[in-house]
């Protein structure tokens, strides 16, 4: 039994200029609606072709990545969606989007969630996602086309369940992590 966690391709959405907190909220909404603008490398195609069960997040960047791989999902579920960054209300502060994202993700890791999913709830969701993938793996090799942070959280849960990593995930687009069932 094998579970492959693959990150989506590069979204067709750019980070330019400085944004207010409201501007960042709009930027994040547009990012969540973006499709991918690149093609998968041959290695990602080869890895994805091994799967007999294909799962993805409902976010367009994940679904369009599957299309670029020439695959159709067996299951689409928000359980596998990326963890949103918490937003703040500030009219005075204007920062580049990537700096905003780093600061807000750091705040999130320190316990600030605002209206977003908390770290505790995201970990609980990752545990449920790992359980779902494990169940699906009984039908064959599973490919999850998902997102950077959530894939890493799911990978952590798989390791807790004794799954062995053949390949660990990176944060690059189209990267993959491959896990095998424990031999016990």
Q: Please report the pLDDT score of residue 184 as a whole number.
A: 61
pLDDT confidence tier of residue 21, bands split at 50, 70 and 90: confident
pLDDT digits (tens, 9 = 90+) for 79-90: 999 999 998 888
Average pLDDT, stretch 60-77?
A: 96
pLDDT digits (tens, 9 = 90+) for 86-135: 988 887 889 999 999 999 999 999 999 989 999 999 999 999 999 999 99
Dist CA 112 CA 68 (whole Å) = 36
Domains in the chain: boundaries: 2-180
* Topology classification of domain 2-180: Rossmann fold (3.40.50)
Residues 19, 27 contacting (CB under 8 angstroms): yes
Residues 120, 83 contacting (CB under 8 angstroms): no
Q: What's this model's pTM, rounded to 2 decimal places?
A: 0.93
Strands 2-7 and 176-180: antiparallel
Decide if pLDDT at 147 tops 70. Answer: yes
pLDDT digits (tens, 9 = 90+) for 25-34: 999 999 999 9
Dist CA 58 CA 116 (whole Å) = 18
């Amino acid at each position: 039994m094998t579970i492959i966690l693959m990150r989506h391709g590069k979204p067709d959405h750019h980070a330019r200029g400085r944004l207010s907190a409201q501007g960042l909220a709009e930027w994040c909404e547009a990012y969540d609606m973006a499709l991918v603008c690149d093609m998968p490398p041959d290695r990602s195609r080869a890895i994805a072709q091994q799967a007999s069960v294909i799962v993805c997040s409902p976010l367009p960047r994940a679904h369009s990545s599957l299309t670029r791989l020439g695959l159709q999902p067996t299951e689409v579920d928000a359980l596998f969606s990326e963890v949103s960054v918490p937003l703040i209300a500030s009219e005075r502060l204007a920062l580049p989007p990537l700096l905003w994202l780093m600061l807000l993700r750091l705040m999130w890791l320190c316990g600030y969630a605002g209206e977003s999913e908390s770290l505790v709830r995201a970990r609980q969701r990752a545990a449920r996602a790992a359980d779902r993938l494990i169940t699906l793996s009984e039908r064959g090799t599973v490919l999850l086309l998902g997102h950077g942070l959530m894939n890493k959280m799911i990978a952590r849960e798989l390791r807790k369940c004794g799954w062995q990593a053949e390949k660990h995930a990176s944060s690059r687009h189209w990267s993959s992590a491959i896990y095998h069932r424990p031999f016990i």
